Structure 1
Amino acid sequence: MHWLFGDQLGPHFLTPGDGDGPGRDTPLLMIEARSVFRRRRFHRAKAHLILSAMRHRAAELGDRLTYVRADTYRAGLEKAAGGRPVTVHHPTSFAAAGLVRALPQVSVGPARGFLVPMEDFSSWADGHGGKSLRQEDFYRWVRRDHDLLMDGDQPAGGRWNHDHDNRERPPRGSATLPVGRPYRPREDAIDDEVRRDLDRWEKDGDVSFVGRDGPRRFPATRAEARAALKRFLTHRLNAFGPFEDAMLAADPVMSHSLLSTSLNLGLLDPAECVERAEEEWRAGRAPINSVEGFVRQIAGWREYVWQLYWYFGDEYRHSNVLRHTTPLPGWWNDLDADAVHARCLRTVLAQVRDTGWTHHIPRLMVLGGYALQRGWDPAELTDWFHRSFVDGYDWVMVPNVIGMSQYADGGRMTTKPYTSGGAYINRMSDLCGACAYKPGDRTGEHACPYTTGYWTFVDRHRDRLASNHRTSRAVQQIDRLGDLADVRRKEHTRGDTPP
C-alpha cells in the first residue's frame, strides 16, 4: 500500500517518477487521525478545510483508496495494513517523519511538492559553509537551475529582483483594490458532513477549536485549485506586484493569489504555478514586476523556508537569542479582536478569527511585530501561527516565525529584526486614519502601541542592534529621544492588556 498524508493530495504524489512513487495499480491509504486535532486548538476553518480536502480526494480515488478514520495514525495503519509493507513520500514535519521512520513496515521515499530535492539544497548550503544562506542567493540559483524567468544566462527583464517596484502604497481614496474578485469555491455534501462532524466533536468535548467556520473560502479539490490559479493569473496577477505589501482595512485579500493552502495541501505543484505565471509575461499579458514577485514568493521564499526547516534541524525551533519568554495573553490566543482598540491589530486579528488567513505583511508587521516588541515567547508564537492559519504547517511556521518574524535565531535567516513603529503601518495602509492612537505619538493618551513598542524594543536590545549596520542608526536615534523614560513607563503600564 502507499500511504497519502493529508497534505499529499495532488496527482504528483501518485506518479512513479524514478521508481520512488506508487505504481498505477498500487492500493492507496489515507488516515484521518482524530488525535491530530486534540494536540492543538486549531482554527475551526483550518480543520474544516483539511478534512474536506482529504474526504474529497478519497471520493475521487474511489475503491483504489482505503480511507480509515481512527484515533491515531498507528491505529489506522494497523487497521488498514496490518503488517503489510507500506510506502510513503517524505512527510512535511519532523514529528510525522519520526513516526514513519519508527514503523518497520514503512519505506520512506523522497519528498514531493517542492522544486529542489533536499540533498541538492544541502550541497548548495554546505558549499556556503552553512552560513550566509540568504534567500536572494538561493532564489537566483533556483531560477538558473530551473530556467525560470531566464533569457539565456540572464534574468528576464534585466533584473533578478523587482521588489523596488512592488512597494507601492494602497491607492488613496479607495477602500478596495480595483482588481477582479478572487476565486470562491462552492460547498457541497462533503462540507456539510465535515461541519456536522466538527460540531459533534466539539459538543462531545473531544476537541476544542478557535475562530469561526464560515463558508469554505479555499479550494479542497484539484479542480478547484486549478480554477483558483487560472482566475488569479487572468484577473489578478497584473495588480499583484505593485501592491503586494499594501494593506486596506476593507480588502484583506487585495490582489494576492490565495494559493498557499492549495500548494501546502499538495493540490497544486509549485512548478505549474510559476511556469504558468511566466507564460503570462511572455505572452504580454502581465508585467514583469508582478510575475517576478509571484515567482519569488513560490520558487524563492516558499522553497527557501521548506529547505531551511530540514537543513537547520528540529532544534532550530527552540532558538531564542533575544531571550523572550513572555507567555501569549489570553485575548490573543482566543482571537478576541473585539477586545483590541488599536485599529490595525483589531482589523488583522479579526481577519484571522473570521477566515484563518491574512497576507504576509499583516502577519509580519502587524502580528509578528507586536509580539516581537512585547518579548513574547517565540516557540509559543510559532505554535499560534501554526494552528491559527489555514495554510500553517510546522515547516511553514518554524522558519517564518523563529527566523523571519521574531529574529529568535539571531540572524541565521535574515539580516535584521523586522519590526517598526506606527509610521510604517500608516504609510502602507489606511488602518491608522480612524484609530484612537496616532502613529507619531510615543507618549500620552494617543501613543501608538507600535511606536512605543518599537522604541522600547530598540532600547531593550540596544547592544545587539548597535553592532548591526542595518539597525545601528535606530540605536543612535534612541539616545536622542528626550522622552525615552516616558516611553518606557508607557509600555510598562500596558502589560499584557489589549492595546
Structure 2
Amino acid sequence: MAAGADGRRGEPDGHRSDPALGGFPDRAPGTRRWCFADQLGPHFLDGPQQPVLLIESRAVFARRRFHRQKAHLVLSALRHRAAELGDRAEFHQVGTYAEALDRVREPLSVCAPTSWGSRDLVLRRPGVEMLAARGFVSSQADFAAWAAGRGRQRLLMEDFYRDARRRHDVLMDGAQPVGGRWNLDEENRQPPPADGRSPAPEPWWPEEDEIDEEVRADLDRWVAAGDASFVGDDGPRLFPVTRREALHRLDDFLDTRLGAFGPHEDAMLRDERWLAHSLLSPALNLGLLDPIDVVGRAEQRYRDSVADGDPLPLNSVEGFVRQVMGWRDYIWHMYWHLGRDFRQRNFLAAREGVPGWLAGLDDTAVDAACLSDVLGDLRRDGWVHHIPRLMVLGNYALQRGIDPSAMTDWFHETFVDGYEWVMVANVVGMSQHADGGVLATKPYASGGAYIDRMSDYCRGCRYNPKKRLGEDACPYTAGYWAFLDRTRDLLAGNHRMRRPLQGLDRLKDLPAVVEQEQRRGTEPP
C-alpha cells in the first residue's frame, strides 16, 4: 500500500466527493464540523484547528432500549471527545438534535452520516453542507463504479474485496496477492484448541475515569426518572472511548494476538470468549480508528516480520484484513446500494416476535448450553464474536421464524458495535436469508453438529446434538429439520439446498419432529 506525500499510507477514499449520492463536496474549509457520535476520530476533520459541533441527544435513549454498556460507551466516547477538543468544540447536551441545531448560527459541514434516518435529518437542516462519507476504506463512488462493472452478475463480497486490495495495494506483490492466494479462509476454520484455552493472551483493557463516573450517574438518573431503560449489565467499560485507547488496543492486538487470530476465528469456548479476536469493531464504528490506517499497520507488521525472518502467519493477517476492508466495507456499501426498503425483506415469511427472554438477555431461562452461554456473555459484555452471532443467535432466530426486521433492531440495540448500517445487511441478508439470496447463496442454518464441532458447549448440555426427537433432542438439530420442512417450497429453487431438502424425505420421524418443534415455538429452549 503506497505511502502518500504526507507519509500516510494513502488518503482514506471516504474523503473523496461522492457523485453517487448527490456529488457531495470533498471539503468545506472554514466551517464548523458537526460530528455525530460515530465520527469521533481526527479523520473526520479537515485540519487540527477546525471547530467542531458535538450533540448529545437524550431522545435517542428514550426511543430505543439499548444495552446499558452500549449507552455508556457512546456517551463516554462523545464526552471524552468534547473534553479533548476543549474550546474548539461546541458541545450541547440536549433532549433532541433540533434543540442544539436551532442554537447554532454559523454554517455547518458534516461528513455524510451512517444511516438513512440521520442523512434525512441533515438534509432537512438549512445551512448544513453534507460532505462525502468517511471512515471506510472504499468510497461510495468506488463501490458504485465496481458494482456497475461490465458483466457483473452478482455483488459478491469476495470480488469486491479483491478489487479493493488491488486499488489500495494491500498485501500485494505487484499484480498478485502476497502468497499467491487471495483467500485463506480454509485455514481459518479450525475447531477450538483441544485444551480449551485461548491461543492468545488476555487483551488489554481500558481504565475508567471521572467521565465514566459521570456517565454512569447520568444513566442511573435517567432510569430512575423513567426517561430511559436499558438491557444488560452495567460496566466495567471494556472498549476504547478515545483515539489513544483505541490505538493502544490496536497495538496490543498487533503485538500479541494477530498471529493467533486466524486458525480459530470461527471457534467458540465457554470460558475463553475473547480467543484471539481484535475487539476493535466498537472503536472502528465509533470512528476512533481510520480503517485504512488499521489495515496499513497490520500489513506493515506482516512485512516487518517477514524481513525479520519470523513471519506472522499469512492466514491470520489476511483474515484480519478481510474483516476490516472486505466485509466491513462491503456491508456498509450494500446498506446504501440495497436501499431503504431492504430491511423489510422477508423472503422466508418469518413473522414471530422476538421472545421476551431473548429481548431481556435472560440466559438463566435457557437450558441449551450454547445459547445460554452466548446470552450470558452478551448480557455481561454487550459483545460476542461473529460466529456466536451468526450460528447461535442468528441460527436460532432463522429456525424459529422470528421476524428479520425485529431481529435487526434487536442486534442494533443489544451489541456495543451495532448500528443501523451494520445490522441491516448482516441480519436481513446474511443471517436470516430474508433477501432470498442477494448476500448469501444459502441460509446459514445448521443443526447441533456444527456447534458441537466448533465449540465445547455440547459437553454436559442436557440436549444431545445428535438427537432430533425426544426430551433430550437438541433444539438446533430438531429446529434445523423443522425449518427445512417449513421453508422447502421457498428454497426448492436454490441448488445449494437441493441435498438438504432431499434429506427431508428420508426422515421417517419428520412429522413428529415438526410437531415437537411447533409445540416448543420460541419458548426458552
Instruction: Report the TM-score when normalising by structure 1.
Output: 0.96
Give the Cα–Cα distance (whole angstroms) in 1 for the partners of residues 178 and 336 of structure 2. Answer: 31
1:316 corresponds, among 337, 342, 349, to: 342
Corresponding position of 2:328: 302
**Contact 1:3–1:86 (CA under 8 A) maintained in structure 2:** yes
Give the Cα–Cα distance (whole angstroms) in 1 for the partners of residues 236 and 298 of structure 2. Answer: 29
Secondary structure of residue in 2 paired with 1:488 = helix
**Contact 2:193–2:199 (CA under 8 A) maintained in structure 1:** no
Mapping of residues 78-477 of structure 1, within 5 Å: 78-79=102-103, 81-82=104-105, 84-127=106-149, 131-174=153-196, 176-284=197-305, 285-477=311-503
How far the C-alpha of 1:230 sits from its partner, in A, is 0.4
Q: Aligned pair in 2 of structure 1 residues 195, 131: CA closer, same or farther (>3 Å)?
A: farther
How far the C-alpha of 1:394 sits from its partner, in A, is 0.3
Corresponding position of 1:19: none
How far the C-alpha of 1:129 sits from its partner, in A, is 7.0
**Contact 1:45–1:213 (CA under 8 A) maintained in structure 2:** yes
Give the Cα–Cα distance (whole angstroms) in 2 for the partners of residues 314 and 298 of structure 1. Answer: 24
Q: Structure 1 unaligned segments of length 5 or more: list them.
A: 16-22
How far the C-alpha of 1:496 sits from its partner, in A, is 2.1
Secondary structure of residue in 2 paired with 1:471 = helix
Worse overlay, 379-388 or 128-137: 128-137
CA deviation digits over 1:8-44, x for unaligned, max 9?
Answer: 11111112xxxxxxx5543211000001111110000
Misfit runs of 4+, over 4 Å: 128-131
Give the Cα–Cα distance (whole angstroms) in 2 for the partners of residues 466 and 157 of structure 1. Answer: 40
1:52 corresponds, among 73, 76, 82, to: 76
Give the Cα–Cα distance (whole angstroms) in 1 for the partners of residues 377 and 458 of structure 2. Answer: 17
Q: Aligned pair in 2 of structure 1 residues 131, 38: CA closer, same or farther (>3 Å)?
A: farther
How far the C-alpha of 1:128 sits from its partner, in A, is 5.7
Is 1:12 the counterpart of 2:36 in the alignment? no
Q: Which amino acid aligns with 1:2?
A: R
Secondary structure of residue in 2 paired with 1:148 = coil
**Contact 1:131–1:412 (CA under 8 A) maintained in structure 2:** no
**Contact 1:89–1:111 (CA under 8 A) maintained in structure 2:** yes
**Contact 2:351–2:401 (CA under 8 A) maintained in structure 1:** yes
**Contact 1:125–1:131 (CA under 8 A) maintained in structure 2:** no
Give the Cα–Cα distance (whole angstroms) in 2 for the partners of residues 108 and 129 of structure 1. Answer: 33
Q: Structure 2 unaligned segments of length 5 or more: list them.
A: 1-31, 306-310
Give the Cα–Cα distance (whole angstroms) in 2 for the partners of residues 85 and 102 of structure 1. Answer: 14
Give the Cα–Cα distance (whole angstroms) in 1 for the partners of residues 208 and 48 of structure 2. Answer: 30
Give the Cα–Cα distance (whole angstroms) in 2 for the partners of residues 137 and 24 of structure 1. Answer: 37
CA deviation digits over 1:149-175, x for unaligned, max 9?
Answer: 10000010110000000001111132x
Secondary structure of residue in 2 paired with 1:426 = helix
Give the Cα–Cα distance (whole angstroms) in 1 for the partners of residues 152 and 332 of structure 2. Answer: 16
Q: Which amino acid aligns with 1:30?
A: L
Worse overlay, 23-32 or 178-187: 23-32
Q: Which amino acid aligns with 1:6?
A: A
Give the Cα–Cα distance (whole angstroms) in 1 for the partners of residues 521 and 150 of structure 2. Answer: 43
Secondary structure of residue in 2 paired with 1:271 = helix
How far the C-alpha of 1:355 sits from its partner, in A, is 0.6
How far the C-alpha of 1:455 sits from its partner, in A, is 0.5
How far the C-alpha of 1:274 sits from its partner, in A, is 1.1
Give the Cα–Cα distance (whole angstroms) in 1 for the partners of residues 38 and 84 of structure 2. Answer: 16
Secondary structure of residue in 2 paired with 1:87 = strand
Q: Which amino acid aligns with 1:236?
A: R
Q: What is the count of residue pairs matched by the alignment?
A: 489
Corresponding position of 2:101: 77
Q: Which amino acid aligns with 1:416?
A: K
How far the C-alpha of 1:462 sits from its partner, in A, is 1.2
How far the C-alpha of 1:145 sits from its partner, in A, is 0.5
How far the C-alpha of 1:179 sits from its partner, in A, is 1.2
Give the Cα–Cα distance (whole angstroms) in 1 for the partners of residues 378 and 118 of structure 2. Answer: 26
CA deviation digits over 1:96-123, x for unaligned, max 9?
Answer: 0000011111110011111111122112
Give the Cα–Cα distance (whole angstroms) in 2 for the partners of residues 223 and 371 of structure 1. Answer: 38
Secondary structure of residue in 1 paired with 2:91 = strand
Secondary structure of residue in 2 paired with 1:205 = coil
Give the Cα–Cα distance (whole angstroms) in 2 for the partners of residues 214 and 202 of structure 1. Answer: 16
Is 1:29 the counterpart of 2:50 in the alignment? no
Give the Cα–Cα distance (whole angstroms) in 1 for the partners of residues 288 and 33 of structure 2. Answer: 18
Give the Cα–Cα distance (whole angstroms) in 1 for the partners of residues 59 and 469 of structure 2. Answer: 48
Q: Aligned pair in 2 of structure 1 residues 258, 24: CA closer, same or farther (>3 Å)?
A: closer
Q: Which amino acid aligns with 1:146?
A: H
Corresponding position of 1:18: none
Give the Cα–Cα distance (whole angstroms) in 1 for the partners of residues 48 and 158 of structure 2. Answer: 39
